[in-house]
Amino acid sequence: MYNFGKFWEIGHSHFAVHLSPKMKILSQINVPKDLRALTMDQLPQLAQELREFIIDIVSTKEGHLGASLGVVELTIALHYVFNTPNDKIIWDVGHQAYGHKILTGRKERFNTNRQLGGISGFPHRKESEYDAFGTGHSSTSISAILGMAMASKLKGANQTQHIAVIGDASIASGMAFEALNHAGVSDANILVILNDNAIGIDPSVGALKKYLTRIKREATQDENIFECLNFDYSGPVDGNNIKTVIAELERLKSRPGPKLLHLITLKGKGLRQAEENQITYHSPGKFDRTTGKIRSGPDNHQPPKFQDVFGHSLVELAQQNPKIIGITPAMPTGSSLRYMMEEIPDRAFDVGIAEQHAVTLAAGMAAEGLVPYCTIYSTFLQRAYDQIIHDVALQSLPVVFCLDRAGMVGEDGATHHGVFDIAYLRCIPNLIIFAPMNEVELRNIMYTAQLGLPQPIAIRYPRGQGSLVDWRLPFKKIALGTSRELRKGSKIAILSIGALGSWIGKVIDEIGNDQLIGHYDMRFVKPLDENRLDFIFKNYEHIVTIEDGCKAGGFGSAILEWSNRMGYTKSIQILAIPDIFVEHGTMEELHRQVEMDPTSLKNLLNKILNADQKM
């Protein structure tokens, strides 16, 4: 059975961190109460030590680097001025919260960050009372902190302070503005801290970015947009000057109503390479902490990442088809749309953190005869669900959704796993769902989509590398609703969807009874290849489905529904993610945990074969 222990209860001693003797102040800080016992003159030294500690751990254990380095002074100042955890701090997105975690009792375990059984890379309510609200997706902090502030007032806890820290990229999102709009007409005691570093993962975009840049340059005395929303605005202030930040926080602490403090910070501060190359050092992988140089991978002659196959293939197709458009909500690097933005900039758009807008923008373009490829991480497409239904599928507009990071994503954990898309898309009429097993299949379905479809299509593919080195083959059209027979058998049919299918052949070879086990790459979740399914159910005794998605409502459920509708009574085993939120770890560890790895499949197949032999 699945083994899901409480990851935050792992013993501290097993993962103990040994601090450098140079970290004389940080070594004394276990909780913010210790921090508040320091003098102001000690805080700059603490900031230096905290930066060094973050760099030490992330250089060897990996994680989000630049965002946390940029807010070290702010982090210290918040816990120095406010009475946490009674006062509430919410970190929008949360990848900048490493310093917060270190100062709030997790220093000794910080080297387990994002590892199986270790602490989460994002704020997590079950992990610490100092994590007032769990985050991972952007632009939620102002709504949440407003809700907490209103709750405190209703309970009579009028002295409690409520702070949301949000970046300039996140505050441009619609949800953040919805919260600002509501907060501005309330008398809630909230402080919104705008951490303005002009970059999210990629550089911030849009008119609001230009507006914030103008405020910074001109220091205008005119009423600004936040004051027009009835916020008590302060700034811009140097967010990397700890004494200045503390002075502002102390001043604002006693002011009633909604307030906004505009801080200017430098992402990656304290590591030269992270300051100069902020995109790469957002999450750089392992690097030399002395030189800052990123450690190179093993061999360059490896299969490419699926995202890069998407990016390069889209450029190829767009060069042949002038109707093709590329759209992404703030993920040009992560999705590899940047290749098209570099080659054909007038037809590729980063619309900022605005998934709802991205989907309906694509719908508008499709309505005018263009072929928009809207590339969004699977987990972020959840934020635009109504737009998929109301603006795209209901009107049968041929938008091409390219769902990157579909399936489990590893160390980023529960907030980022793209495991629900099959279930939440399969119930929508007029929508095709396709999952390529390899890079060539991804290229071919992208090619097929731009030939002209009467309806939208969602193409889901995983994070990380594919399985083919030689993937740049000529494009071929894929007939809708067709599957592939990869291996014929007689007793057990394995029906796979997506990239998990690439290792199934090896598992069958290891079992030895290869003539008994068939393997089918079903490719389409919707429409199903009903002719193939009819053949399979008539010629095999046992059916095993496998997918990198949730079991409830997923691909296996679709097979069960079809089987029931057709009156078949064959045994069907579904390998998929159970009805839980899977936490963080490597992809291999998490697939083992939910029994969707090669060993688990091999054990299941042997169990079925052995049971048949005994009958």
Given the residues 355, 441, 547, 595, the one annotated as active site: 355
- Tell whether the torsion through CA atoms of 201, 263, 269 and 266 is positive or negative: positive
Catalytic entry in 114, 209, 259, 383: 383
CA atoms of 215 and 222, how far apart (whole Å): 10
Give the span between the Cα atoms of 516 and 606, in whole angstroms: 11
Instruction: Considering the candidates 267, 338, 460, 523, report the single residue annotated as catalytic.
Output: 267
Place of tokens 């059984």: 117
**Phi, psi at residue 516, to the nearest 5°?**
-90, -20
Is 538 designated active site? no
CA torsion 231-237-241-243 (nearest 10°) is -60
Phi, psi of 556 (to 5 degrees): -60, -40
Tokens matching residue 549: 């998605």
DSSP, collapsed to helix, strand or coil, labels residue 502 as: helix
CA–CA distance, 600 with 467 (Å, rounded to integer): 21
Instruction: List the helix and strand counts (H, then E) for the chain.
Output: 24, 17
Q: What is the 3-state secondary structure (H, E, C) of 538-554?
A: HHCCEEEEEEEEECCCC
Neighbours of 385 (CB within 10 A): 15
The answer to whether the CB of 171 falls within 8 A of the CB of 181 is: no
- The alpha carbon of 136 is separated from its chain's Cα centroid by a whole number of angstroms, namely 7
Strand partners, 261: 193, 234
Which are the contacts of 463, defined by CB distance < 8 A and separation ≥ 6?
A: 305, 306, 307, 404, 405, 407, 409, 410, 587
Dist. CA 553–CA 423, nearest whole Å: 5
For residue 461, give the nearest of 522, 520, 407, 398 by alpha carbon: 407
The kind and range of the H/E element at 495 are strand 492-496
Catalytic residue flag (residue 267)? yes
d(CA 420, CA 432): 16
Catalytic site residue 355? yes
Exposure class string for 513-541: b at 16+ Cβ within 10 A, else e: eeebbbbbbbbbbbebbeebbeebbeebe
CB 505 within 8 A of CB 486: yes
How are strands ordered across the β-sheet holding 571-577?
484-487, 517-521, 492-496, 542-550, 571-577
End-to-end CA distance of the chain: 25
Rounded to whole angstroms, how far apart are CA atoms 414 and 581?
6
Residue type, 145: I
State the catalytic residues: 267, 355, 383
